[in-house]
Amino acid sequence: MSTIDLAAVRADTPACPRGVFLDSAGSSLPPVQVLDEVVGHLRREAEVGGYRAHDERAAELEDGYALMARLLGCEPDEVAFTDSATRSWLAAFDAVPLKAGDRILVTEVEYAGNAIPLLHRAAEVGASVETVPSTPTGEVDVAALRELLDERVALVSLVHVPSNGGLVNPVAEVVEAAHSVGALVLLDACQSVGQLPVYAAELGVDMLSGTGRKWLRGPRGTGFLVVRRAVLPRLRPRLVDLHSGTWSAPERYELRTDARVFELWETSTADRLGLLAAVRYAVELGLEAIAAAVGERAQRLRAGLAAVPGVTVHDLGTTRCGIVSFTVEGRSPRQVRDELADHGVTVTVTGASSTRHDMTRRGLPELVRASPHYFLTLDQLDEAVAAVERVSEDVP
Ligand SMILES: *Cc1c(COP(=O)(O)O)cnc(C)c1O
């Protein structure tokens, strides 16, 4: 496995020296390769118009499906581009046939953006949404899942890495259990793609959603969906347009038979090209190398924070990834975020409403979330710990 050339990736990221950026789980810093692609294409559109500018890049845009397939371990015809992870997830979820009496299983780290449409549609059709308990270490309890499964379970919604901590859920075991009763598995890989190797075919998932703006370091307003070839015939895409199908006679249309049936025609070409540049960048670094560098940084941060008096690290899981969650005694997470910003450290706050089951059961209203990417130096992580220490000492 190659290792990451820290000097090179920092040189590609002009914002690196500006401070300690710990929000790649929110919206990361893009490398210049991404920024130049987006801005360059917008300029080209201003010169020749959006259609011609698009046609000039048509071959690369088409090759983008193979590139995504390489990143995500699937076939090019199993890839669809969208404008967010949520849009991808909704397109897939909406296409899963559901009827009265059907059951949907979710984990305790389900994300609000999935939970709300799940509850909304379940109420509409008379299906139920049930939560699978977690093991004492926080992962979805696969034995408990097996107990809950029966042939009425239409879908298991699995969040790979939650937005509120370093947990990594087991995917292959969940898929194996779900498939034993014929249930589909929709994997929310929004927080895992770009920081961990995530290969759809190897994991066996039926559908997978993700975003460009987080660990992949792509532009905002980009997302992608994987729908496995064998699963597509079981789905009923609901939002379709003139790109998803062909109007072949006044009363007749034919839908596409690949994952692009989930795409709509209109899209930001500049952002798509930016996403592809981001994916190329990640694939060239290697996802194993990225995961190792992110893991090392998160672990250093966790260990440093855990040693600060008054600081509690809240991450669950036996294998932990790049999301570090903590609280500081006597300071609200928002105060910590704002005071760290004064010290040049960027973190975010994750609230109970994003991951309601998990935060409620642990009695946590809010957490500080720090998510270091591979482009941070180890010294910067120590600086962040020192800044937290100062915030903690300043508690009246
Ligand atoms: C951020 C996030 C999403 C939604 O991503 P969007 O880019 O807002 O669509 C979905 N799931 C998880 C776990 C997330 O953290």
- Are residues 110 and 212 both part of a single domain? yes
- Are residues 124 and 145 both part of a single domain? yes
- Are residues 88 and 123 both part of a single domain? yes
* Residue pLDDT, tens place only, 276-320: 999 999 999 999 999 999 999 999 999 999 999 999 999 999 999
* Residue pLDDT, tens place only, 380-396: 999 999 999 999 998 76
Alpha helices in the chain (DSSP H): 6-11, 32-48, 50-56, 58-72, 85-95, 112-125, 142-148, 172-180, 200-203, 269-285, 287-306, 333-342, 356-361, 378-393
The reported pLDDT for the residue numbered 317 is 96
* Residue pLDDT, tens place only, 81-136: 999 999 999 999 999 999 999 999 999 999 999 999 999 999 999 999 999 999 99
Residue 23 tokens read as 């929000």
- Are residues 115 and 13 both part of a single domain? no
184 close to 133: Cβ distance less than 8 angstroms: no
Mean pLDDT across the chain, nearest whole number? 97
Across 189-317, the runs of DSSP E, i.e. the strands, are 207-211, 223-227, 245-249, 252-255, 311-313
- Are residues 223 and 309 both part of a single domain? no
Report the CATH number at residue 320: 3.90.1150.10
Q: Which of 116, 188, 348, 358 to mutate to test the pocket of ligand 1 (most atoms within 8 A of CB)?
A: 188
- Are residues 215 and 333 both part of a single domain? no
What mean pLDDT comes out for the span 346-359? 96
- Are residues 15 and 40 both part of a single domain? no
- Are residues 262 and 348 both part of a single domain? no
The reported pLDDT for the residue numbered 9 is 98
Q: How far apart are CA 36 and CA 13, in angstroms?
A: 12
Q: Is the CB of 184 under 6 A from ligand 1?
A: no
- Are residues 331 and 264 both part of a single domain? no
- Whether residue 358 lies inside any domain: the answer is yes
Distance 90 CA to ligand 1 centre (A): 12
- Are residues 187 and 308 both part of a single domain? no
Domain end call among 267, 284, 301: 284
Which atom of ligand 1 lies at the shortest distance from residue 109's CA? 13
Indicate the pairing of strand 324-328 with strand 348-351: unpaired
> Residue 330's pLDDT band (boundaries 50, 70, 90)?
very high
What mean pLDDT comes out for the span 190-206? 98
Domain end call among 234, 261, 284: 284
- Are residues 176 and 309 both part of a single domain? no
Angle at 140 between CA 137 and CA 145, to 5 degrees: 135
Distance 87 CA to ligand 1 centre (A): 10
- Whether residue 273 lies inside any domain: the answer is yes
Report the CATH number at residue 50: 3.40.640.10
- Whether residue 269 lies inside any domain: the answer is yes
The reported pLDDT for the residue numbered 394 is 80
At 172, which amino acid appears?
A
| Total count of domains within the chain | 2
Domain of 217, in residue numbers: 33-284
What mean pLDDT comes out for the span 143-172? 98
First to last CA, the chain: 48
Residue nearest to atom 2 of ligand 1 (CA): 190
Q: Which of 24, 28, 84, 86 to mutate to test the pocket of ligand 1 (most atoms within 8 A of CB)?
A: 86
Residue nearest to atom 5 of ligand 1 (CA): 85
What mean pLDDT comes out for the span 43-63? 98
Q: How far apart are CA 9 and CA 89, in angstroms?
A: 31
Distance 392 CA to ligand 1 centre (A): 30
- Are residues 256 and 338 both part of a single domain? no
The reported pLDDT for the residue numbered 2 is 77
Q: Is the CB of 192 under 6 A from ligand 1?
A: no
Residues of the chain above pLDDT 90, percent: 98
The reported pLDDT for the residue numbered 1 is 61
Q: How far apart are CA 261 and CA 285, in angstroms?
A: 31
This prediction has a pTM of 0.98
Q: How far apart are CA 129 and CA 219, in angstroms?
A: 33
Domain end call among 257, 284, 311: 284
Residue nearest to atom 15 of ligand 1 (CA): 163
